[in-house]
């Protein structure tokens, strides 16, 4: 079956004065219509870069696609020029960003910023575009669209601004919505509202949503499938249930363990994963997580783990899943089926 979006072995590097930073090192994923894919990982793991590359909004140079392919509805996007990509941006795929304060032009009225996209992609009059913007502002739950239309971003509250951003992203009915940490800059109460809004609109518009976040609470609420990224690679991918109930990568275990838990007795500090991610100027030859991993084995530092399939659509890059790693596995580790890992390349 053809996917709405399919990314294969995408590699993105940044050329800096200090050398090449390998931000994304071979990432593959897909997205179907109507589903939500969450991409989780700590800062600098390449999650934003990979989706911004799909949109074609990473500045090149310094960035450079080293390899891989991006298929949108069967069409290859990675070789397209900037001008060709303009047809897709905002029209076929749209993006909302983390900080609505800095992501809206401070010197342009909100209404005009929303109209720009419509006027770019659709053959409508200014009046028609304005009517659509007002309708869209109403749909995202802004109480007085006429008033919001005339306002400047700084005069709106954070929640209202993020709603306006969502309206801006959706005003050309995109098929894919990239949400790059859409709730990180908001109050917890507003967070829930915005997530519900995105979820609701996703159903109405039948969009595929890629949600980038490091908040596992948000992921649990929204995601159908999850990609866990570390140091420019996807280390584990699976459905939300598979990842939450049968994590099969020590990094995922660490992320889940670091989640604050209200039920748990409060004793001692919140768990954190010791150490820091590797330097992407010179990624280690073995598993990138080896240096921080509790279960690190000899092979981990020498060679990066291949993909092991541990369930239907559940894959993980960890040597523990190899037959020879069985004795080192923590209890309950080993995939949704509890079955033996099978190398996907064998």
Partner 1 sequence: MRKYIVRRLIISVITVWLIATSCFFLLRTLPGNPFQTTSLLSAEMVDRMMHYYGLDRPLWDQYVTYMQNLLRGNFGYSLKYAGQSVNGIIASTFPISAQLGLQAYFLSIPLGFLFGIVAARCRGKAVDYGLVGFSVLGVSVPVFILAAMLQYVFAIRLKWLPVAQWKSFQHTILPTVTLAFSSIAGRTRSMRTFMLEIVNEDYIKTAKAKGLSKYRVVWSHQIRNAVIPMIPTMGMEIVGMLMGSFVVEQIFAIPGIGNQFVTSIQNLDYTMTLGLTVFFGVFVVAANFIVDIVYGIVDPRIRVR
Residues that bind partner 1 (CB under 8 A): 52, 55, 57, 59, 82-83, 86-91, 94-95, 97, 99, 102-108, 116-117, 120-121, 152, 154, 165, 168-169
Closest approach of partner 1 to the CB of residue 168, in Å:
7
Considering the complex, state which of residue 16 and residue 303 has its C-beta at the smaller distance from partner 1: 16
Considering the complex, state which of residue 142 and residue 169 has its C-beta at the smaller distance from partner 1: 169
Closest approach of partner 1 to the CB of residue 173, in Å:
13
Considering the complex, state which of residue 59 and residue 143 has its C-beta at the smaller distance from partner 1: 59
Considering the complex, state which of residue 56 and residue 238 has its C-beta at the smaller distance from partner 1: 56
Closest approach of partner 1 to the CB of residue 116, in Å:
6
Closest approach of partner 1 to the CB of residue 127, in Å:
20
Closest approach of partner 1 to the CB of residue 90, in Å:
4
Closest approach of partner 1 to the CB of residue 62, in Å:
10
Return the HEC string of the chain. CCCCEEEEEEEEEEEECCEEEEEEEEEEEEECCCCEEEEECCCCCCHHHHHHHHHCCCCCCCEEEEEEEEEECCEECCCCCHHHHCCCECCCEEEECCCHHHHCCCCCCHHHHHHHHHHHHCCCCHHHHHHHHHHHHHHCCCCCHHHHHHCCHHHCCHHHHHHHHHHHHHCCCCCEEEEECCCCCCCHHHHHHHHHHHHHHHHHHCCEEEEEECCHHHHHHHCCEEEEEECCEEEEEEEHHHHHHCCCCHHHHHHHHCCCCCCCCCCCCCCCCCCCCCCCCCCCCCCCCHHHCCCCCHHHHHCCCCCEEEECCEEECCHHHCHHHHHHCCCCCCCCCCCCCEECCC
Considering the complex, state which of residue 78 and residue 103 has its C-beta at the smaller distance from partner 1: 103
Considering the complex, state which of residue 18 and residue 263 has its C-beta at the smaller distance from partner 1: 18
């Amino acid at each position: 079956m053809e996917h709405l979006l399919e990314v294969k072995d995408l590699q993105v590097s940044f050329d800096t004065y200090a050398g090449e930073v390998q931000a994304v090192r071979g990432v593959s994923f897909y997205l179907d219509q109507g589903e939500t894919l969450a991409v989780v990982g700590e800062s600098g793991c390449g999650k934003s870069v990979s989706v911004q590359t799909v949109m074609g909004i990473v500045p090149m140079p310094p960035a450079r696609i080293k390899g891989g392919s991006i298929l949108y509805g069967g069409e290859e996007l990675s070789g397209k020029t900037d001008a060709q990509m303009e047809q897709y941006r905002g029209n076929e795929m749209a993006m909302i960003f983390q900080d609505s304060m800095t992501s809206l032009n401070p010197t342009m009225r909100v209404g005009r910023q929303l109209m720009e996209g419509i006027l770019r992609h659709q053959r409508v009059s200014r009046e028609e575009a304005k009517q659509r913007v007002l309708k869209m502002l109403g749909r995202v739950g802004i109480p007085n669209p006429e008033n919001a239309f005339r306002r400047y971003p700084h005069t709106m509250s954070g929640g209202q601004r993020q709603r306006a951003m969502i309206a801006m992203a959706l005003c050309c009915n995109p098929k894919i919505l990239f949400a790059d940490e859409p709730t990180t800059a908001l109050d917890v109460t507003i967070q829930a509202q915005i997530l519900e809004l995105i979820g609701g609109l996703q159903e109405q518009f039948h969009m595929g949503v890629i949600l980038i976040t490091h908040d596992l609470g948000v992921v649990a609420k929204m995601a159908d499938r999850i990609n866990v990224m570390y140091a420019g690679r996807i280390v584990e991918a699976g459905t939300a249930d598979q990842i939450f109930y049968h994590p099969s990568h020590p990094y995922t275990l660490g992320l889940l363990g670091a989640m604050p838990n209200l039920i748990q007795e409060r004793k001692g500090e919140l768990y954190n994963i010791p150490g820091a991610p590797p330097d992407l100027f010179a990624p280690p030859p073995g598993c990138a997580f080896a240096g921080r991993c509790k279960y690190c084995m000899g092979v981990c530092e020498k060679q990066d783990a291949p993909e092991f399939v541990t369930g239907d659509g559940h894959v993980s890059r960890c040597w523990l899943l190899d037959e020879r790693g069985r004795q080192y596995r923590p209890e309950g580790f080993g995939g949704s089926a509890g079955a033996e890992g099978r190398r996907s390349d064998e």
